[in-house]
Amino acid sequence: MDTRPHTPQEAPSLDAYLGKLNPIPLNGRYPDQKRLADWAAGAFDWLYQGDPLAEDAALALRQSGGRGNVADRIQQLATQGDPACAALLTDMHDIPDWVDFDLMRRGGAMAQRHFPMLVLALTYGCMPLTFAHPDAAEVFASTGRLEANIARRLNESGTLFFGVCNSDALAPGKHMWEACVQVRLVHAIVRMSLIERGWNVAERGVPISQLATAAGPAFFGTHLLGCLRRVGARITEEEAEGHCMIWRYTTRLLGVPQELLGNTQAEQDEIDLNMSSLFFAPDDTARVIMAALIRELAVQQPTARIPAFLQLALFRRMLGDEMANAYGIPESHKGERLLGGLDVLLSGYGRLQGLNPLAGLLRRRGQQIIERFGTEGLVSLDVAGTRH
């Protein structure tokens, strides 16, 4: 199967696309402009590529009917001779040479130990980035995934974001590997549904493109680490590399080709910086979604326990002023003062990580909380692409 991108003749040039986008570098970090231009020229075509392996498997699932565990159904169809399902499983079982499960365990243990900070970093620092690009915001708006039910969206996201902290569960056949199969198929169904409903592929690229999905390590690896450190997390270089590898491998499991990922962390760092420089440009739709997110976090449990003005300060701390302003997130001097007090508590929690017995206890406690998420929060294939 041809999984290379095919850019429509009527598609805009890279310069025209970026000129219309007017992106904001995340956290004010700028890469070398020559290297950025070279990378962007090679990566741009992937804006027009979906995930043919998952799309064909999703169609096979739809034709077969039935319900139950998605990975089991894919395996059953593959065993029965379905070529699309067999091809998807072959791709999902292909573990890149750079994957190191021992290193990922160290990164996952770090995240588990810092569970309170992880919740803050994911909620206030990473979730907004999932609709920072105008096309991503349009996907949210078209499916009603965020505005319609923020609690469900948070639960779905948490299932994957927290679950991959147990990196052993990403091994083929394990439960987070199966979760990645399901998320990959959901993305395929949403993509096909939006295209069927008239999505302008030539102008915007395909929805949930390979290039968009390839931002995962930049969002949840590099940027998340920065967010954790902003609230007092103590992270070694080895733990940081292990955490980033978790998200590089998770992104590969979600269908992104190796061409868009690094073979080493140094290569991935450069890709992440390029990604962070080019594709964040909140538009009016993103600002509507952000307003809905702020509104709902203030009333939904458990975040309703956090004062609304403190939540505004957390958004601005995690995103940086330029990105927060682009989203229309207001400043809150009262929130900033309260965040200063929270910093003291979180810094104290971070210092506890240096005490070996306590560090182990905190990791086990965090692991227990994370495991409660299970897989029930994932969106089902039955409602993918709908406004439910």
Closest by alpha carbon to 20, among 288, 286, 283, 322? 283
- What's the chain's average pLDDT? 85
Residue 74 is predicted with a pLDDT of 94
pLDDT reading at 313 higher than 60: yes
**42-73 tens-digit pLDDT:** 888 999 999 999 999 999 999 988 667 888 99
Q: Which domain holds residue 131?
A: 99-371
Residue 388 is predicted with a pLDDT of 43
Q: Helices in 129-264 by DSSP H: which ranges?
A: 134-143, 150-163, 175-196, 201-204, 210-213, 216, 224-230, 237-253
Whether 328 maps to a domain, the answer reads yes
- Residue 362: φ, ψ to 5°: -65, -40
Q: Could you give the number of structural domains in the chain?
A: 1
pLDDT reading at 188 higher than 70: yes
- Mean pLDDT (whole number) for 116-120: 88
Q: Which amino acid is at 294?
A: I
DSSP SS3 for 233: coil
Task: Return the percent helix, strand and coil in the chain, to nearest 5.
Answer: 70, 0, 30
Whether 53 maps to a domain, the answer reads no
Q: What is the DSSP string of 322-345?
A: HHHHHHTPPP-HHHHHHHHHHHHH
Greater model confidence, 329 or 134 = 329
- Mean pLDDT (whole number) for 314-332: 94
Cβ neighbour number for residue 334 with a 10 Å cutoff: 14
Whether 204 maps to a domain, the answer reads yes
pLDDT-based confidence at 148, cuts 50/70/90?
low
- What percent of the chain stands above pLDDT 90? 51
**CB under 8 Å to 373, separation ≥6 — which residues?**
155, 158, 159, 162, 163
pLDDT-based confidence at 386, cuts 50/70/90?
very low
- Mean pLDDT (whole number) for 317-327: 92
pLDDT reading at 323 higher than 80: yes
pLDDT reading at 379 higher than 60: no
Closest by alpha carbon to 227, among 334, 346, 344? 346
Residue 303 is predicted with a pLDDT of 84
Largest CA distance in the chain: 62
| Rg of the chain, C-alpha, whole Å | 20
Report the alpha-carbon distance of residue 231 to residue 121 in Å, rounded.
8
Cα–Cα–Cα angle for 223, 226, 227, nearest 5°? 90
Q: Which amino acid is at 216?
A: G
Cα-Cα-Cα-Cα torsion 33, 255, 160, 276, nearest 10 degrees, comes to 10
pLDDT reading at 157 higher than 60: yes
Residue 374 is predicted with a pLDDT of 47
Residue 333 is predicted with a pLDDT of 94
Residue 375 is predicted with a pLDDT of 44
Whether 136 maps to a domain, the answer reads yes
Tokens 């940081």 label which residue?
Answer: 240
pLDDT-based confidence at 154, cuts 50/70/90?
low
Whether 379 maps to a domain, the answer reads no
DSSP state of 51: -
pLDDT reading at 149 higher than 70: no
Are 375 and 163 in contact, with CB atoms under 8 Å apart?
yes
**248-278 tens-digit pLDDT:** 999 999 999 999 999 999 999 999 988 888 7
Cβ neighbour number for residue 182 with a 10 Å cutoff: 21
Are 5 and 48 in contact, with CB atoms under 8 Å apart?
yes
Whether 64 maps to a domain, the answer reads no
pLDDT-based confidence at 7, cuts 50/70/90?
confident
- Mean pLDDT (whole number) for 112-125: 89
Residue 24 is predicted with a pLDDT of 77
Residue 101 is predicted with a pLDDT of 98
Instruction: With residue 286 as reference, give the H or E element that holds it.
Output: helix 284-297
Whether 27 maps to a domain, the answer reads no
Report the alpha-carbon distance of residue 50 to residue 192 in Å, rounded.
9
Six token digits for residue 298: 């203030």
